[in-house]
Amino acid sequence: MKKGTRVAIQGIKASFHEEAAFKFFGKDIQTIECNSFKQTCDVLENGDADFVVMAIENSIAGSLLPNYTLIREYNFAVVGEVYLAIQLHLMALPGVKFEDIKYATSHPIAIRQCVDFFEDYPQIQIIEGNDTAACAKRIKEEQLTDTVAIANTLAAELYELNVIERRIESNKKNFTRFLILKRDRTENESPINKASICFQVSNHVGALVKVLNIFAEQKVNLSKIQSMPVLGKRNEYYFYVDMEWKNMEDYDKAVRLALKYTVNFNIMGEYQKNDKV
């Protein structure tokens, strides 16, 4: 990856999106902070970034459905994926003790993932924020001695906070999958063995099964199927499918056959499987 690669992320520095970007590209990158997923897409579309790192699903919270729509509407290429273990810690200014805490602040999803911990401390008031790292940054900037943030170790290091409780997430097998997006569909240099596709089928008995059977017959494994309604169209759905294969010829044949039974068939990206957490 060339030095200074520009990567758009939702959130600020030390957010989980930046952590995922570092895991995929290494730390020698320039991260571009964005307030929303749509803004990351606009930045990429305008040529102000080389890639976007976008969360697409969480093992507890499920799929981020609006992000599927963004990828399709902007017609970006999925060129990779990265899985990140979501480890949440309680952090405060140096010197702050647990008994001093009156407020805990973080992103709503992060708060939801720590409800079991806070059940034991009803005296702590929970305040929702826009971003895990932004909550940590605010504690540093405003020198809040009665507030803790729920965030990752990257945020603790960057904003010079002390971790006072580690791993407070309820489910220790909590991970998020991120997709790596690029504006242009260039040839992938790595060997490819996974693809993300999108299609529609006609609304009659067995239409979807027919397509899914084609992939099964060609030994292509479907690792995820996600349906979403087509806006403004009753009983019409987009099907987003992730698939993996061992033999490229099997995949190519399956796609050729599936084209006959689908409409608006779109290969969103072909890339190398990367599911190590």
CA–CA separation, 128 vs 135, rounded Å? Answer: 9
Cα gap 176→153, rounded to integer Å: 16
pTM of the model: 0.92
How is residue 9 written in tokens? Answer: 């992320």
The CA-atom distances, in angstroms, between 240 and each of 33, 61, 176, 194, 261 are 28, 18, 18, 13, 15
* pLDDT mean over 247-253: 97
Angle value at C-alpha 18, between 17 and 23, nearest 5 degrees: 95
Q: Could you give all domains of the chain from N- to C-terminal order, each with its CATH number?
A: 5-86+174-182 (3.40.190.10), 89-165 (3.40.190.10), 194-271 (3.30.70.260)
pLDDT at position 93? 98
Asked whether the predicted pLDDT for residue 3 surpasses 70, the reply is: no
Please compute the mean of the pLDDT values over residues 106-111 and round it to a whole number.
92
- The answer to whether residue 75 scores a pLDDT higher than 70 is yes
Average pLDDT over the chain reads 94
- Dist. CA 7–CA 25, nearest whole Å: 9
pLDDT tens-digit readout, 187-217: 777 789 999 999 999 888 889 999 999 999 9
**How does residue 114 score in pLDDT terms, banded at 50, 70 and 90?**
very high
Judge whether residue 2 has pLDDT over 80.
no
CA distances (Å), origin 135, targets 36, 47, 95, 139, 173: 16, 30, 18, 7, 24
| 178, 84 Cβ separation under 8 angstroms | yes
Confidence of residue 185 (pLDDT cuts 50, 70, 90): confident
Nearest to 190 by CA among 83, 271, 244: 271
| Beta-sheet pairing, 77-85 with 194-200 | unpaired
E strand or H helix at 147: strand 147-151
Residue ranges of alpha helices (H) inside 99-190 are 108-112, 115-119, 132-142, 153-158
The SS3 call for residue 265 is strand
Q: Which residues pair with 94 in a beta bridge?
A: none
Tokens of 229: 């309604």
Given pLDDT bands bounded at 50, 70 and 90, which one contains residue 162? Answer: very high
DSSP 189-242: SSPP-EEEEEEE--SSTTHHHHHHHHHHHTT-EEEEEEEEEPTT-TT-EEEEEE
Burial class, 116, CB count within 10 angstroms (exposed 0-12 / middle 13-18 / buried 19+): exposed
Judged by average pLDDT, the poorest of 28-32, 58-62, 102-106, 118-122 is: 58-62
Residues 235 and 127: their CA atoms lie apart, in Å, by: 40
Residue whose tokens read 């924020």: 129
Written in H, E and C, the secondary structure of 41-88 is: HHHHHCCCCCEEEEEEEECCCEECHHHHHHHHHHCCEEEEEEEEECCC
